[in-house]
Amino acid sequence: MIGIPTSGMTTLAHKIIANAQGGQGAAVYIDLSGTFDPDYAIRCGVMLDRLLLVRPKTITQTLDIARDLFNEGKLTLVLLDLLNERDTTRPRDVGTMLRKLHEPLAKSRTAALFLLNAPQRPQWQALEEYTDIRLLIQRQTWLYQERDIRGYRVQVTILKDKSSPGEKHIILDLTFDDAVKGNGA
């Protein structure tokens, strides 16, 4: 999934995690960005007691952890948050590392969700080759309940779908479990 800050990508990712947890599934949030906000995740329906949060320091650690989790095959969802990656080291070939993820992921029953900024950093362009579905998230408008923000409307553009040709657009309303107060409270 790609988008710009405040596009709704993190909110949609949290909603996907909550959905995965709903059927007794387990999820892992790999937070290379170091930006996971547990209060916000709860407002989006995430059950923190059924979420493993991992904060690796490098891209290499991130992809190694993901590979190990895929090899276990016991998880419903592994989310890799690369939105504001802090890693200043640059592995020589992220493409090779991603190739090593492909086989264990294909053999497992785990879904992988990558969160990336748009436009992508060059090292992540190899990811396009390996993804089955690629989404672009764009915020359209805020949703209000009186003066309080209840969520926002986003447009999801399906840029790539191996099972269906052609670009598609979907409009979604992403709402919070608790209102974000308009007066800052």
What domains are defined for the chain?
2-131 (3.40.50.300)
Residue 58: pLDDT band (50, 70, 90) is confident
Note the pLDDT of residue 16.
94
Token representation of residue 158: 């399906």
DSSP states of 49-93 as a string? GGEEEE--SSHHHHHHHHHHHHHH---SEEEEE-TT-------S-
pTM for this prediction: 0.85
pLDDT digits (tens, 9 = 90+) for 90-130: 666 677 788 888 889 989 989 999 998 877 666 667 777 77
